[in-house]
């Protein structure tokens, strides 16, 4: 075998090995673990002559992504009992009459799929589909989401509206106070990208 032919065969084997390695990498599932202390859920409720702002704490979550199929799964958990608006009287009414947080202390969003392309580095604009379990019932959601991946850190923001009254929660309106029947939600998530599974 000539030296030139030997070099050619070695080069072919090297290229084949690299291609196989890259294909395997694309098929690996990437996982991200949320950092609850760096996550928050903001909500805004419109009311007559006043707008209510508040927050809920995220308790945890894991998200898994398969780059070869754009398949996204995982769960994000929120502590409903942590909800606060800065007014103790209003918060007590919210927890006792609307959220019934002693009975339904947790809300969980289970991810099922995405629409759009999620890049493993940089910024992506996607739509996340899943099921939100809140107040004892499950509801389908499609959430426009902005994702940023920088090395081993992933951040995401999402904005959507929840029709809480239509979903079976009590309308807190009365003769003196009228509030909207939908609530605007802004979510901020931060997590660490784990090694491919």
Phi, psi of 169 (to 5 degrees): -90, 155
DSSP 68: T
pTM: 0.82
Question: Per-residue pLDDT for the chain (197 aa), expressed as one digit of tens each?
Answer: 454 434 433 343 333 333 333 333 445 788 999 999 999 999 999 988 889 999 999 999 999 988 877 788 999 999 999 999 999 999 999 999 999 999 999 999 999 999 999 888 999 999 999 999 999 999 999 999 999 999 899 999 999 999 999 999 999 988 778 999 999 999 999 999 986 54
All residues at 6 or more sequence positions from 135 whose CB lies less than 8 Å from its CB, including other chains: 99, 100, 104, 107, 167, 168, 169
Nearest to 193 by CA among 26, 23, 35: 35
| Domains (range + CATH), the chain | 28-194 (2.40.128.110)
Instruction: State both tokens at 192.
Output: 């660490």
| Three-state secondary structure call for residue 130 | strand
Find the length of the chain: 197
Structure-block tokens of residue 7: 């070099």
Q: Quick one: which H or E segment has residue 13?
A: helix 3-27
Instruction: Report DSSP state, residue 92.
Output: H
């Amino acid at each position: 075998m000539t030296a030139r032919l030997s070099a050619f065969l070695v080069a072919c084997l090297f290229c084949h090995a690299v291609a196989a390695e890259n294909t395997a990498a694309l098929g690996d599932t990437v996982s991200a673990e949320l950092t609850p202390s760096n996550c928050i859920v903001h909500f805004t409720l419109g009311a007559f002559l006043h707008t209510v702002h508040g927050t809920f704490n995220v308790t945890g979550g894991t998200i898994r992504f398969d780059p070869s199929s754009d398949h996204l799964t995982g769960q994000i958990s929120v502590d409903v009992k942590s909800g606060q608006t800065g007014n103790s009287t209003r918060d007590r009414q919210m927890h006792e009459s609307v959220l019934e947080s002693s009975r339904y202390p947790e809300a969980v969003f289970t991810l099922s799929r995405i629409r759009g392309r999620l890049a493993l580095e940089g910024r992506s604009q996607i739509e996340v589909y899943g099921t939100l379990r809140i107040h004892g019932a499950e509801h389908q959601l499609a959430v426009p989401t902005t994702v940023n991946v920088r090395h081993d850190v992933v951040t995401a923001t999402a904005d959507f509206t929840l029709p809480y009254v239509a979903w079976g929660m009590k309308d807190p309106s009365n003769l003196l106070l009228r509030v909207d029947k939908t609530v605007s939600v802004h979510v901020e998530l931060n997590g660490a990208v784990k090694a491919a599974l």
